[in-house]
Amino acid sequence: MSEKLAKLTLGGETYDFPVLSGTVGPDVIDIRSLYSKTGLFTYDPGFTSTAACDSAITYIDGDKGELLYRGYPIDQLAEKSSYLEVCYLLLYGELPTAAELEDFGNRVTRHTMVHEQMHYFYRGFRRDAHPMAIVTGVVGAMAAFYHDSTDINDPVQREIASIRMIAKLPTIAAMAYKYSVGQPFVYPRNDLDYASNFLHMCFAVPAEEYKVDPVIAKAMDRIFTLHADHEQNASTSTVRLSGSSDANPFACIAAGVACLWGPAHGGANEAALNMLRQIGSVDRIPEFIARAKDKEDPFRLMGFGHRVYKNYDPRAAVMQESAREVLSLLGVENNPTLQVAQELEKIALEDQYFVDRKLYPNVDFYSGIILDAIGFPTSMFTAIFAVSRTVGWIAQWKEMIGDPQKKIGRPRQLYNGATNRDYVDIRQR
Ligand code: CMC
């Protein structure tokens, strides 16, 4: 029983609610008994003050600009770890030993190919379909191809479904890309690491050999690592809400992919690069800053601002460094988009509007520049985010399924519509 209590006084009556503490972060008022005690609901659209679950996976301190995966700071993981090691950490809670990592790598590798029938499934899409539309459809369709891992009550099936998605998402996203450019699908290569295999599936063609540059592979691996999880964001909450009805894991992750596509969420990386290109040159920055501040204009600085970070997004700092490394490797340090991005960041960080609202660059501000330099079209950016985030969605979904307190998610509402009225015959309206 919690020691701390929150008191709510309503119409002369006082009600007590327990205050629960986590290991770090704000305490929460446990209002589960609020309705039964008072007949009232709370109102919090956008969940700005509501903890929807109890989790031990990822922690963000928005004021400090800190992001921890299972307690480990993101900058340490981005520098010293690898994406597959981070996947293991997120899924199982601890960093693997060398033997555990090798075993995990082998398990993932054995599942990288997709069912051959899926190739025909792709052919039903238009060639100009957005890769996110294809990825949403194909991930949902996995339930039709892998029936033997849809029983959420069987831990073995849950594990197989998880590994299948982590292994196949790069293949699915790369196939969406190949389909859009009219090139043959490239089968996965299990002798390559996770990031190199993805790059190979995207950029190799049967006519010639494609060698993955280790600097590019490292940058790709970092992009995957930095996007791997981000606690209860919109797509993760979508996955949890979908999973709360006991829907199969492929359906839940497809729901997460669909939510991620929005420009306020994962779609921001595509929107940010398009915006930087639209600005085009440093002298046009003031015009766009003015538009971002104008409340009559719907324009926002894409890649800026965050619901939780009220400080520099720690992922943006790593991403900026990576962007410089990749551009210098490719000999395009003077890339005009990077120059616009750096100058825009400088101006915005000194502008009172952005300072007052604590608006800083987020992860998407620089990721697009790297992906563009690697050779990806903007339409692939969010699909790459989906590949990276799959492990986070799965870790959160598994945590929820294993939680004895799990309940179907069912928010309540403040109803503001018409009250009970009688049906009127069409001739009398
Ligand atoms: N440009 C200009 N003004 C902004 C921006 C921006 N990018 N972001 C927020 N504001 C203003 C907003 O107009 C509001 O001003 P006021 O108080 O005068 O009305 C204030 O800042 C607070 O904004 P909000 O919309 O209430 O904040 P939120 O927490 O609901 O939204 C956000 C967070 C990320 C949706 C928003 O900052 C945004 O739309 N950013 C651009 C899109 C973006 O980069 N998204 C990627 C997020 S990180 C990756 C991910 O999680 O997927």
Residue 250 above 60 pLDDT? yes
DSSP annotation of 38 reads: H
Q: Worst-scoring range by mean pLDDT, 186-200, 222-236, 261-275, 390-404?
A: 261-275
Residue 118 above 80 pLDDT? yes
Identify whether 306 is a catalytic site residue: yes
pLDDT value at residue 129: 95
pLDDT value at residue 22: 97
| Chain segment 297-328, per-residue pLDDT in tens | 999 999 999 989 999 899 998 998 888 888 88
Distance from Cα 311 to the centre of ligand 1, integer Å: 13
Are 221 and 192 in contact by the 8 Å Cβ rule? The answer is no
pLDDT value at residue 323: 87
Ligand 1 pocket list (CB less than 6 A):
233, 264-266, 268, 292, 300-307, 357, 359, 362-364
Question: What is the rounded distance in angstroms from the CA atom of residue 262 to the CA atom of residue 267?
Answer: 5
Distance from Cα 345 to the centre of ligand 1, integer Å: 15
Distance from Cα 66 to the centre of ligand 1, integer Å: 19
Give the count of alpha carbons within 13 A of 411, CB side only: 16
Mutate to test the pocket of ligand 1, among 274, 307, 345 (most ligand atoms within 8 A of CB): 307
Where do the domains of the chain lie, and which CATH numbers do they carry? 5-51 (2.20.28.60), 56-405 (1.10.580.10)
Determine the average pLDDT of the residues in 350-366: 92
pLDDT value at residue 38: 97
Determine the average pLDDT of the residues in 39-67: 96
**Which ligand 1 atom minimizes the distance to the CA of 233?**
51
Closest CA to 172 of 124, 119, 227: 119
Residue 334 above 80 pLDDT? no
Q: Where are the alpha helices (DSSP H) in 330-376?
A: 336-350, 352-356, 364-374
29 Cβ contact partners less than 8 Å away, ≥ 6 residues apart? 6, 17, 18, 19, 20
Residue 332's pLDDT band (boundaries 50, 70, 90)? confident
| Chain segment 170-184, per-residue pLDDT in tens | 999 999 999 999 999
Residue 2's pLDDT band (boundaries 50, 70, 90)? low
Are 327 and 333 in contact by the 8 Å Cβ rule? The answer is yes
pLDDT value at residue 1: 53
Distance from Cα 296 to the centre of ligand 1, integer Å: 15
Query: How confident is the prediction for the chain on average, in pLDDT?
Result: 94
Determine the average pLDDT of the residues in 367-374: 91
| CA atoms 178, 183, 185, 188: torsion sign | negative
Mutate to test the pocket of ligand 1, among 257, 351, 362, 363 (most ligand atoms within 8 A of CB): 362
Residue 268's pLDDT band (boundaries 50, 70, 90)? confident
Distance from Cα 264 to the centre of ligand 1, integer Å: 8
- Which residue has the least CA distance to atom 39 on ligand 1? 264
Are 142 and 250 in contact by the 8 Å Cβ rule? The answer is yes
The one catalytic residue in 200, 229, 306, 372 is 306
pLDDT value at residue 186: 97
pLDDT value at residue 424: 97
Question: What is the rounded distance in angstroms from the CA atom of residue 242 to the CA atom of residue 295?
Answer: 35
Residue 112 above 90 pLDDT? yes
Strand partners, 72: 69
Closest CA to 235 of 210, 213, 257, 220: 257
**Which ligand 1 atom minimizes the distance to the CA of 235?**
52
- Which residue has the least CA distance to atom 37 on ligand 1? 305
**Which ligand 1 atom minimizes the distance to the CA of 304?**
7
Determine the average pLDDT of the residues in 122-144: 96
| Chain segment 141-169, per-residue pLDDT in tens | 999 999 999 999 999 999 999 999 999 99
From the number of C-beta atoms within 10 Å of its C-beta (0-12, 13-18, 19+), residue 414 rates as exposed
The one catalytic residue in 193, 221, 229, 364 is 364
Question: What is the rounded distance in angstroms from the CA atom of residue 413 to the CA atom of residue 429?
Answer: 30
| Strands lying side by side in the sheet with 66-69 | 58-61, 66-69, 72-73
- Which residue has the least CA distance to atom 10 on ligand 1? 305
pLDDT value at residue 298: 94
Residue 256 above 90 pLDDT? yes
pLDDT value at residue 324: 85
Amino acid at 137: G
DSSP states of 62-80 as a string?
TTTTEEEETTEEHHHHHHH
Identify whether 130 is a catalytic site residue: no
